[in-house]
Structure 1
Amino acid sequence: MEGDGRAARWRRVLERRLPVLSWARRYDRMTALADFVAGITLGLTLVPQSIAYATLADLPVQYGLYSAFMGTILYTFLGTIKEVSIGPTSLMALLTLHTCHNLSVEYMQLLTFLSGIIVTLMGIFRLGILVELISAPVTSGFTSGTAMIIVVSQLKGLLGLSFVAESVSENLRLIAAKWEHVRRADCLLGAVCIAVLLTLRKIKDIKISPKNRRLRKTVWLVSISRNAIVVITASVIAYCLHPSGVGDAFNHISNTTDTVSTPRANATEPIFKLSGRVHGGLPTLSLPAFSVYEGNTTVNFGGMTAKLGSSIILVPIVMVLANVAIAKAFSGSRPMDAMQEMVALGVCNVCGALVSAMPTCGAFTRSAVSHSSGVRTPAAGLYSGAISLLALAFLTEYFYFIPKATLSAVLICAVVFMIDVQTALKLWRQSRPDLAVLVLTCVVSVLWSVEMAVLVGALANVALLLWACARPCTETTRLKVCGGECVQVRPHAALLYLNAERFASVVALAADAAPALPVLVDCSRLQLLDYSASQVVKRMNESFAAREQRLVFYNVTSELAKKLDNVVCVVHATSAEEAFAPILPSETSHPEVSPLLA
């Protein structure tokens, strides 16, 4: 019996750490069919998004696809939320761009590897609480700021310009400097792609009779496959309009590495700026480089990590923040194992680094597609990952013809709705200080850096918290009870070194207004008291004793009573009548409350 119990415990532990074991036994044909449909649908979203996110990170297109299959496949075995899809995201691409700009691909691979290790350790040691230090206003401001940065960074693609810039100001400056080189064909194509993407996004909301199920399914499929439809259509147009002619277009690919970058079009230049030649085939499996040869020197592991800087810490935190938020949103009433989710995310990134993937995490857009597709289990990731592998193996030569304006349109339409106007409006009505934190975080993201935005926002939140603690709400009333009269003081939440002196001054003012009456401190709302505050209370008690006025604390929890022992008079009472009775026993009467100093 003891052996059976031990085996059962090990089985439960194994199922928690390898969740595929818990649902694989119940996997049937209908579930497999539902996951197949959801996986194929997700793949049609994942592939064009991955190509666009690689462009955003200033990486060759194939690196987006390298990042698209490992996470989705591994999450099938390690993940707990069926809707989550691990892969490249706009946020991770932007952080990669800011961290690895002007650095070789080896740095990006090392960033992914180290981020995965840190996230895995956070899960093993249950350090997810660190993410809770980042409040909702900071997250909203950070997300909105990064969305604005991405939109501005993609304007160059819509205008047919080629340059690399990190900040919003640098992007706008270079656009102004190169304005005379704007390509009208790319502008027109980008505008049309944006219009089509936004239109297809809304058609799923058209009300169609429930009787016409086939039409409803068709409209829904077209809507969620809009990225693939637009990218394929634009690529076909670019292929047909290629100046080398349809028959010679692929011969042209083998003779060039990218589109011609001269300012003005000529007879042999494509009408649109194209993605250029893409390295085909599957990636090789290898550990990330822990040293690189640059110029005439070798940069060791320490030098590489120094160049990656604070992003080694920031990227994992943002990964966990995004993934846990998505997991919570789609877990519904089901319990969410945050530890397992972090371990799964970390392992996906560690293994992704072995195939040269950029940092990856979950994405709300892909999770929403999976949810609306009727996904049943995480096995849908196997099919979407397979589509990414097939694209790498057989379709890379066609990626040459994807117009850059189309990829910019896909990115803009994907992130523009991340600008969180609704939260800002809600905070305007409910909490102006939190709105200030949101705006500050967003402004720092746009004008300074996304790395500093999280730090500044978190520090601003701490400052607000300290300010609130330093200015506590303390109620003072004059209370008639038991035939006598007293002054009642009710502190809120906490007495700490930040606010103890202010509390003492409030109590002293109330006592001075009624020097003949005892002061009763109701601690029913007091949850925290530190050593500094207890010493202030001790000095208050000595001051009251010197002028022969009673100071009594009541409604005190057992934990606070220990801290106030030998500091002040504590009465074990739950009401003012009980606390006042030992001081001046008399006939009982109903209490009358009136504001003090009214």
Structure 2
Amino acid sequence: MSGQLDGSQTRKAKLKFNLRKRSGTLIPFIKWISSYSKIDAVADFIAGLTIGLILIPQSVAYLAIVQLSAKEGLLSSVVGSFIYTFFGTIKEISMGPTAMMSLLTNEYIKNLSSDSIGLLCFGCGIVGLILSILRLGLIVEFISVPVSSAFGSAVAFTILASEMKNFLGLQYKSNLFSENIGQFIDHAHKIQYGDMSLGVVTMVTLVLLGKIKDLPISKTWKYRFAMKRFLWFIAMSRNAITLFLACVLTHYFETYHGTVPYEKTELVTLGLPDMRIPWHESGSGNTTITLTQKVKMLYSGMIVIPIVALLVHVTIAKFFDSAHTVNISHELISTSLSNILCSFFNSAPIAGAFSRSAVSSVIQVRSPLSNFYAGVMCFLALTYLTPYFHLIPKASLSAAIVTAIVAVIDYQIVVPLWKNSKKDLFILILTLFVSLYNGVEIGLIVGVFSNLLFLVYLWARPSIVIERCKCEYGDYAMVTPDLGLFFPAVGYLESEMNKTLKREHLRNLPVAVNCLFFKGFDYTAVKGLARIIKMYQKQKRTIIFFNANQKLSDMCSDVDESVLPYICDNEEHYKRLLFDDKVELKSVTISRLETRKTNGINGDCPKDMSGKSPKEEVPLLNIIKKQTRPNSL
């Protein structure tokens, strides 16, 4: 009886353990909360309050880019923060509106009314969930650092150009960087000096408050640490402080002068935004835009925006915590659920922000729970402060956006690329200019496609090392491709072998092709190997392929069995095929050979690969090396 009870208890314990493990896999919060400490709670609470002070003004400012009110911005921050607390895996991430997401949203709804933003947000959430279910999030790995850097810089330049009108009090509509510059030139004579003055003062104030944390404090003062923390907190809260002072200034003008010498934001009513389904028809006058028409106009944004959001999250994780493995599926789920819920309040797509993540990293945040406290602060602001947001001047909002977005421009990458990789520099410049003049989504596609072209080129034109190897019983030529072997490269390998092995110092030698670096094979490649073998048989030259793996042997047996006798996977077989089982390979003494160059090909080398001087004992492969490499693009 007791044995049955013990067995039942064991099964229950296993079931409970498996259930907890499965729950932790689906909801990361369950996994890490069990080891959560009081110290972690205090650190996250402080981080959450600090991030909340940054997130509130950013929610108002970034949603203003897409002509949405403060209520939609704050609500999206509340929803995103709460969702990420339970489903997020990167502790530095702070979910909410971002400049990049707002700009991309503005790019896709430029020909639609603002009530179409909810449909775009909903579509982004659905596409993100599909990417997560199908495990397609790895596509972000095809976006290289130069492409992502150029993309981010293009977004920053476009935002800077679009914010010039609010900063200077101008009225015009434009979307692309080139359009903004053209419209600014046309309307430059209409600059409102009240808006410009307030914008400049706000920007200077933000810069000075950002530098206040670097003020020198006497090391002997006993309150030095407390003062340093206080100044740091002021610097981190500079957006909230500056916008509060701007609101006070607006209230002063309205109370004592009856008019305000600059543009201010629209009046926002108290309470939550109205809830409605995002898939609805909209119209203007006698024109009605159906749901199908909207989807056709927005579908590219529904694909690009989730990928960009995931790219931002992966970049943040790699930048601030390189040892942390990003769970791409959970990041997609967290952003997708947030966007789906936000879409019912006609909010714009949200994601993590690099600026807020930098603050979280400095504060030494411990877990995604800091998002919960930031979300609570945004909810309190949404509940009690929305009637006062109309006091915020547009010029001050633009100044806050400009000072924050300048940090996104990655100019430091140019010099290293110029010195080390002209190819990557070309891709960066191409992506940047296409993004500025044709739209950031087109620029991203062009950048990724350019990278893929270079990758295909490397597979089609691998570097091939041809060596003359000397042993006690004879010489032979060794051919070593550094990559392959798929159909674009087999023809190139054949032509390079034909061209190089006809040189005088390699003529009539048996040939050994080293398959060590072959990553895979296809039908065309095996047929190409058979063609090479037949060609060398006609020339009465021995050729073998060694260091071949089992996959190549299996494919040859299925595709062309005539190749099999010329393939080996070990040294004994290699010797038997190449030297008719008469040669024992070993180290030999080789005198220095004369160096002779023919058409840029180094026929002999003054030293062996190990760098030893002549007349010294050298390894088996004393190399007379010729490197063939395709012309660089």
Normalised to the residue count of structure 2, the TM-score between the two structures is: 0.86
CA distance in 2, matches of 1:240, 1:285: 35
CA distance in 2, matches of 1:547, 1:218: 83
Task: Kindly tell me the number of residue pairs found equivalent between the two proteins.
Answer: 576
Counterpart code for 1:549: R
Change (3 A) 1:73 1:546: same
Name the structure 1 match of 2:121: 112
**Considering only aligned residues, what root-mean-square deviation do their CA atoms show, in Å?**
2.3
Encode CA deviations 1:501-547: one digit per residue, 9 max, x unaligned.
11101111233234421111111222222221221111111111112
Counterpart code for 2:240: A
1:585 matched to 2:578: no
CA distance in 2, matches of 1:562, 1:482: 34
CA distance in 2, matches of 1:73, 1:205: 34
Check whether the contact 2:477–2:512 (CA below 8 A) recurs between aligned residues.
yes
Matching residue within 188, 193, 203 for 1:194: 203
Higher mean displacement: 12-21 or 454-463: 12-21
Matching residue within 523, 536, 548 for 1:544: 536
Name the structure 1 match of 2:624: 594
CA distance in 2, matches of 1:479, 1:307: 63
Check whether the contact 2:138–2:328 (CA below 8 A) recurs between aligned residues.
no
Name the structure 1 match of 2:314: 324
Write the mapping of 1:350-499 to structure 2, written as runs, cut at 5 A: 350-499=340-489
CA distance in 1, matches of 2:460, 2:212: 53
Higher mean displacement: 584-593 or 343-352: 584-593
Counterpart code for 2:76: S
Check whether the contact 1:544–1:550 (CA below 8 A) recurs between aligned residues.
yes
Higher mean displacement: 293-302 or 542-551: 293-302
**Structure 1 residue 28, shift from structure 2 partner:** 5.3
1:509 matched to 2:506: no
CA distance in 2, matches of 1:25, 1:555: 51
CA distance in 2, matches of 1:145, 1:237: 34
**Structure 1 residue 587, shift from structure 2 partner:** 5.8
Give unmatched runs, 5+ long, in structure 1. 250-267
CA distance in 2, matches of 1:23, 1:535: 54
Higher mean displacement: 347-356 or 329-338: 329-338
Change (3 A) 1:493 1:511: same
CA distance in 1, matches of 2:551, 2:353: 44
Name the structure 1 match of 2:58: 49
Counterpart code for 2:624: S
Matching residue within 98, 101, 106 for 1:89: 98
**Structure 1 residue 77, shift from structure 2 partner:** 1.6
Check whether the contact 2:463–2:481 (CA below 8 A) recurs between aligned residues.
yes
The 3-state SS of whatever aligns with 1:489 is strand
Change (3 A) 1:376 1:572: closer
CA distance in 1, matches of 2:524, 2:322: 43
The 3-state SS of whatever aligns with 2:280 is coil
1:230 matched to 2:242: yes
Check whether the contact 2:168–2:395 (CA below 8 A) recurs between aligned residues.
yes
CA distance in 1, matches of 2:214, 2:378: 29
**Structure 1 residue 488, shift from structure 2 partner:** 1.0
1:59 matched to 2:89: no
Counterpart code for 1:13: R
CA distance in 2, matches of 1:94, 1:65: 18
Give unmatched runs, 5+ long, in structure 2. 1-9, 589-619, 629-633
Check whether the contact 1:156–1:175 (CA below 8 A) recurs between aligned residues.
yes
Write the mapping of 1:170-249 to structure 2, written as runs, cut at 5 A: 170-206=179-215, 208=217, 212-242=224-254, 245=256
1:124 matched to 2:133: yes
After TM superposition, the runs of 4+ consecutive aligned structure 1 residues lying more than 6 A away are: none
Check whether the contact 1:95–1:315 (CA below 8 A) recurs between aligned residues.
yes
**Structure 1 residue 76, shift from structure 2 partner:** 1.2
Name the structure 1 match of 2:568: 571
**Structure 1 residue 354, shift from structure 2 partner:** 2.3
Counterpart code for 1:316: P
Check whether the contact 1:520–1:576 (CA below 8 A) recurs between aligned residues.
no
Counterpart code for 1:573: N
1:340 matched to 2:330: yes
**Structure 1 residue 358, shift from structure 2 partner:** 0.8
Check whether the contact 2:91–2:368 (CA below 8 A) recurs between aligned residues.
yes
Change (3 A) 1:596 1:318: closer
Name the structure 1 match of 2:527: 535
Encode CA deviations 1:40-88: one digit per residue, 9 max, x unaligned.
2111100111111012223333322232211011211221222211111
Matching residue within 140, 145, 150 for 1:141: 150
Encode CA deviations 1:88-115: one digit per residue, 9 max, x unaligned.
1011000111111242233100111111
- What percent of counterpart residues are identical? 33
Change (3 A) 1:506 1:60: same
The 3-state SS of whatever aligns with 1:476 is strand
Higher mean displacement: 64-73 or 370-379: 370-379
Higher mean displacement: 195-204 or 473-482: 195-204
